[in-house]
Amino acid sequence: MPDLDLQIRALIDSVPPVTAREAIDRSSARGGAPGRRSPSVRGPVAVAASVLLIAAAAGWVAASGEGQSHRHRNVAAAPIDAADVSDILTASSSAMASSGMAHVVQTTYQNGHLQSTDTGTVTFDGQNIDEHDVIASPGSNSFSVDDRLVDGQFYIYTAGPTGSVEWIHDTGSDSTTSMAFPDPRSFYAQIDSQADFEVVGTSTHNGTTLSELAARRPGAIASAALAPLAQGALTSFVMWVDPDDVVQQLTFASSSTFEACTFGPKDLEDKGGVKTVTTTPAQNRASARCGPQTTQQSATVTYSGLGGDETVVAPSHALDVVGHG
Amino acid sequence: MLSEELAPVRPLRAAPEIADFESFVLGAEPRLRGALIAIYGSDRGREATAESLAYAWEHWERVAGLDNPIGYLFRVAQSRSRLRKVPIIFVPPPPSAERLVEPGLPDALRALSASQRLAVVLVHAYGWRVREVAELTGVKPTTVQNHLERGLRRLRQKLGVHDHA
């Protein structure tokens, strides 16, 4: 074994050097210019860089460490305290207050079988939100949902009263409950120091180091606020935070079990054209099968373009309909 | 010819200025990187190095005129490093005949205080003078010497090795 000084040098020198070109590129990507300090200014170039970063991050999560991403697991996880969680909430709220995007991927399994995969893009501009969601299920054609919330008014792109697909302005009082996703900023807002977050590793994406924070007690996070991406108890909650304490990506999973029955034809009674589960006579219920159904959901939310120039406005033409959503 | 829309929004740097910066980075980067990795670990130390050099480029006129630009950028990196919650991790190099590293070294280094690590890495491994580390960190040379001796003692205890100081 070489002397200690040589070993230390080998350890340090194994980290690739930073070139002048890399420093210049880094400065350019955030709009840095000679003689002025502008790291906090997020211009279009920075937004584009952010999009690339997040795309890489999303790919990394899916592909377990390929491309330009590097991931390291530390030997001993480091807990963070309530003040750190508060810092993350404050920084993320500030960074996402104006505008940005969230890429959402959700999968739902029932009793171990894939039920559906949702892939959505949510754009937020203040309180206005635009959503595009593609839902795919095994053995079925995928379909998409497009909706928009502008100045508290709900719009959905769907078949209207005339049968043609068009933008509908749903004027019903509860129309906003039909949004495909809730405001994506509500997801990270659920983090709670009671969940005992700890830093379990880091990943580097295009030169930016993200901290991986995992909840040791995910059940302490209110899953209801994550619906419909989660139901029941949370089984995991992990977030990746950038050097400015802004959440760039989070993943969470949930599981719920309930008693459910499947009925055969003998259990159903036709009441005016509506199939209803019958209760009498008892022998007709022989084919009903009841048992626990376990639904497992997992979701990945990746933020990008924070503070960029995304705008969400009402559709130029929309048909007023009450209660369409 | 570029249209007005596509024209650069700010003047491009003159080539001699880029050449000056490249020359500066060649000399300063290894020292800066060694110091910052000693404190923050492999990934975060490199990130801090890149960040401080980007800052140097943005403020090149000022940085180029400083007496101690490395010390200045070292402090810039510390003030701009916001990853205080990230654990310090030293990633060992792939094993080779030239770069054989005791498996316990990364954890043993991590067990030292940041000041001890800095002194051990820069003075013991890279041959910096104690006075140079003192100038870098803004402390007295005797303090650096103290960190060095305690750090080396603790490191050797952790590794169970005996080395020539």
Confidence of residue A61 (pLDDT cuts 50, 70, 90): very low
- Segment A139-189, tens digit of pLDDT: 888 888 889 999 989 898 887 777 778 888 888 766 666 778 888 888 888
Task: Say what the pLDDT of residue B165 is.
Answer: 44
Helix spans in A64-190 (H) = 82-96, 185-188
DSSP β-ladder status, A319-321 and A165-170:
parallel
For residue A198, what is the nearest residue in chain B, using CA coordinates?
A: B85
Is the ipTM of this structure higher than 0.95?
no
Given a cut of 80, whether residue A207 has pLDDT beyond it is no
Given a cut of 50, whether residue A67 has pLDDT beyond it is no
DSSP β-ladder status, A268-271 and A274-277:
antiparallel
Q: Which of A 204-243 lie inside 8 A of B, CB atoms? A: 204, 207-209, 211, 213, 243
For residue A39, what is the nearest residue in chain B, using CA coordinates?
A: B55
- Segment A35-48, tens digit of pLDDT: 433 333 222 222 22
- The two tokens of residue A243 are 């050097």
Residue A292 Ramachandran class (φ > 0 left, ψ -120 to 50 alpha, else beta): beta
Rounded to whole angstroms, the Cα distance separating B43 from B40 reads 8
CATH 1.10.10.10 is held by the domain B103-165: yes
- Segment A75-120, tens digit of pLDDT: 345 677 788 888 888 999 999 999 999 999 999 988 888 888 999 9
Number of H helices, E strands in chain B: 8, 0
Closest partner CB to A12 (pick from B44, B60, B121): B121
Residue intervals in chain B for CATH 1.10.10.10: 103-165
CB A137 within 8 A of CB A110: no
Letter string b/e over residues A177-198, b meaning 16 or more CB atoms within 10 A of that residue's CB: eebbbbbbbebbebbbbebbbb
- The two tokens of residue A112 are 């171990």
Gyration radius (Cα) of chain B, Å: 19
Task: Say what the pLDDT of residue A292 is.
Answer: 80
CA dihedral defined by A209, A210, A216, A217, rounded to 10 degrees? 160
